[in-house]
A and B are shown apart, each in its own frame.
Chain A
Amino acid sequence: MPLSREDFVAVMRHLQREVQQLDPEAHALVAQYTERSDDPRRYLLDYLRSLIKILSERSSGAHGRVLNLLNEHVRTPQGGPIRGIRLELSLTEREIYQQEGIDLALLPDREEFVQELLALYHDLNEDGGEHRRE
C-alpha cells in the first residue's frame, strides 16, 4: 500500500529529527538547500537529495572520483597527475582554525552510506504516494 500524505509527513519529521540529533550542522545546511514545498512527498525527496549531496561531498570516495575526472585532461606543469584537492583557507580563517588548508582526501569514505541513502531515495520515489495512484 502506498504511503499517504500523513505517512510522508511522519517520515519527513523522523528524518529531520534524526539528522538534527546526529549532525545539527549538516541538518542546517540541508534545510538551507532544500526547496520548500507544500507536497510532503516532494519535500522529503528534496531533503534526502540535499542530504545525499552534502554527505557525498564529505566522503573521500567522491574525492577520488573528482580527482580521476580532473586527471583525464589536466596535468601539472611537470606533466604529472594532480595528486589531491586541497581547500586553501583565507588569512583570517588560518588564524582562527590554526591550519593553512584542508586536504579533502582526509575525509572518511562514506560511499556505502551514500549508496544506502540513494537506494532509500529511489524506493521512496517509486512510492508515488496514494493520491498519485488514483
Chain B
Amino acid sequence: MTRQEATARITAILRRYMTAADPAAFDLLPKALTAGKLYEAYALGLIARQLATREGLQLTLVNGS
C-alpha cells in the first residue's frame, strides 16, 4: 500500500460513514457518557458465561427487564 492509497482509503471510509448522524436522542449527549458502556455489558456477559459454565450458577437479572 502506498501513502496515497492509504490516505485515499481513509478519506473514502470516513466520509461515507461518519456523516451518518446519530438519532436525535443522542444529539445533546456527550459521547463520553456512552463510551465504554457496551464494553462493560460485554465484560459482564463474559463473566456470566464463566459463572454459568464453570461454577454452574443460574443467573437472574434484578431490576432489569
Residues of A within 8 A of B (CB): 1, 3, 7, 10-11, 14-15, 18-19, 22-23, 25-26, 29, 53-54, 57-58, 62-63, 65-66, 69-70, 72-77, 82-83, 85, 87, 89, 93, 96-99, 102-104, 106-108, 110, 112-113, 116-117, 120, 123-124, 127
Contacts and interface: CB of A to CB of B under 8 A. Distances in A.
Contacts of A116: 13, 17
A18 B11 CA distance: 7
Nearest to A51: B14
A117 B34 CA distance: 21
Contacts of A124: 1, 6
A58 B7 contact: no
The interface size bin for chain B is 35 or more
B39 A57 contact: yes
A71 to B, nearest CB: 9
Contacts of A108: 20-23
B2 A69 contact: no
Interface string B30-65: 111111111101101110110111000011111011
Interface of B: 1-3, 6-7, 9-11, 13-23, 25-26, 28-39, 41-42, 44-46, 48-49, 51-53, 58-62, 64-65
A62 to B, nearest CB: 5
Contact of B38 (A7, A62, A96): A62
Given A73-B45, A82-B61, A108-B21, 20 more contacts: A7-B6, A14-B6, A15-B10, A18-B11, A22-B19, A25-B30, A25-B31, A29-B31, A29-B35, A58-B22, A66-B41, A66-B42, A69-B48, A74-B45, A83-B65, A87-B34, A87-B37, A96-B28, A99-B25, A116-B17
